[in-house]
Amino acid sequence: MIKELFVAAVILLTPICSGEQPMWSVDAAEIWQQVFAGEPVQLENFVVTGHLNLSNLDPPLVRARFSLVNCTVATSDFTGVTFQDMADFSGSTLDAASFSQAVFADDAGFYDTDFRGPVDFNYTRFEGYNYFAGALFEKEASFYDAYFQEFADFGNARFLKGCLFIKARFIDGAGFLDSRFDGSANFMGASFESFSSFADAVFNGTAYFGLAHFVDAIQFRDVAFDGDAIFGLAQMDLAEFNGSTMAGQVNFKSASIESLLLENVSFGRDAKVNLRSAKFTRMTTPWQELRGHLVYDGAVYLALARNYRDLEWFGDADWCYFDYRQENRRQKAWGVEKVIDYLSWLSCGYGVRPSYPLIWSMTLIALFGLAFFLTGGIRRSGQPAQDEKPNLDRHQEAPIAVPTRPGIRDCIYFSALIFLSTGPLEFLPVGRYRYLIIMEGIFGWLFMALLFVTLGRVMIR
């Protein structure tokens, strides 16, 4: 009897034109009666008038299929309601809705649903497949401590205000591909227990993933983090951020990460990455991309250098260690230790720049040679070389040997031999310039030792 009355009421209702599809009107009380009778509700292109409140059912149980497709519902309350069959709200407009503590025992469809007002899914259980693909959340959306037994599909969903998934559990993973978060997105303490993806998503506000637990791989490929991204104390197995854009602060403080992929990442000018106290086994981030954006922490720099060596990225390891020593030196107060750091930097690039002692060696050889030439600090011996002795008769006296001043090339030649070993016998120091020769010899031994040590460190890995 109730069903016949409901059909008659629908036929007598005045259609409301909206676009190309006519919109029919139905009173919320009629739907309530149909649900109470255990009958399915299958409406499409209807406007539900009045307050649709199924939370006052006794018991709050929807036994049959419940479908409001492309419908408009002003206010609705499904708090604590259990949907035993499929519930479908695809394409509908819900001005203000509460699904708090509701249970969807079968599939739940919210394809392209427009939530115009705040929506409450706190403590809701989704035991079947749930589809929020293309959904529009115009106001705050709250999924606090929600439970998703099957894969949660939020692909291309749009959150115009803040959304809250604190302590939500995604047992079979979640997909937020191409989703857009215009307000803050809070996933603190959420648990992703299977592969999940935020690929191509956009976070215009702060993204909170602190204390989140990613049991399986999590994908943030090509994601735009236009605000800060917080991953402090998060637990990750494999986290991929390849191709992402990070404009704000990225905080991995005290996070535990098995493998962190950060290749081809674009950092904003003021972006900073905080890895303090973070534990990571493998991190594939070219140093030139990360350089200048890492918050200084000595232990982090050294851990990254070891990581690069394990990856056989020896160039990245050397640059990382070099920059670590530079930052460490800048933060020291003036004293003997800082002076030694300066000498280590300038002489051999902290042991990872063989070019430094080589350049110093060539420069010193040239400078000492120039000094010998300009000051006349050395003289060529007047004794001719062994193969240059003139042929003299036994009655003819040899000419008197007169020391001569060598040219610039001879001075550099003499300087190079002094720097590398000992000077040639055909050149003699003049006066106090003998001490200059001793000094150059000391510099030679020092820089040759630094060259061989740094070269050996770089070449013998």
Phi, psi of 192 (to 5 degrees): -110, 105
CA–chain centroid gap for 14, Å, is 57
In the predicted model, is pLDDT for residue 434 greater than 80?
yes
Q: Can you read off the two tokens belonging to residue 184?
A: 């803050």
Looking at the DSSP bridge assignments, the partners of residue 406 are none
Question: Which DSSP string corresponds to 352-392?
Answer: T-THHHHHHHHHHHHHHHHHHHHHT-EEE-SSPPGGG----
210-223 pLDDT tens trace: 999 999 999 999 99
Return d(Cα 215, Cα 236) in angstroms, integer.
7
Q: Can you read off the two tokens belonging to residue 445?
A: 């031994």
70-98 pLDDT tens trace: 999 999 999 999 999 999 999 999 999 99
Q: Is 211 exposed, middle or buried (0-12, 13-18, 19+ CB in 10 A)?
A: buried
Of 5 and 309, the structure prediction assigns the larger pLDDT to: 309
Angle, helix 355-375 to helix 433-459, in steps of 10 degrees: 160
Domains of the chain as residue ranges with CATH: 355-383+403-459 (1.10.287)
Return d(Cα 105, Cα 85) in angstroms, integer.
7
315-338 pLDDT tens trace: 999 999 999 999 998 888 888 888
* Residue 455 confidence (pLDDT): 82
Neighbour-count burial for 108-136, b at 16+ CB within 10 Å, e otherwise: bbbbbbbbbbbbbbbbbbbbbbbbbbbbb
* Residue 332 confidence (pLDDT): 87
Question: Which DSSP string corresponds to 207-270?
Answer: EE-TT-EESS-EE-TT-EE-S-EE-TT-EEEEEE-TT-EE-SEEE-TT-EEEEEE-TT-EE-TT
Looking at the DSSP bridge assignments, the partners of residue 429 are 378
DSSP 8-state symbol, 280: E
- This prediction's pTM: 0.80
Of 168 and 5, the structure prediction assigns the larger pLDDT to: 168
Per-residue CA distances from 195 to 26, 108, 151, 170 (Å):
42, 21, 10, 10
Please tell me the least confidently modeled range out of 21-35, 52-66, 181-195, 395-409: 395-409
CB 121 within 8 A of CB 141: yes
Return d(Cα 148, Cα 334) in angstroms, integer.
58
Per-residue CA distances from 305 to 258, 308, 431, 451 (Å):
17, 5, 51, 22
In a 13 Å sphere around the CA of 226, the CA atoms on its Cβ side amount to 11
CB 12 within 8 A of CB 35: no
What confidence tier does 453 reach under pLDDT thresholds 50, 70, 90? confident
What confidence tier does 379 reach under pLDDT thresholds 50, 70, 90? confident
Q: What is the mean pLDDT of residues 279-300?
A: 94
In the predicted model, is pLDDT for residue 423 greater than 60?
yes
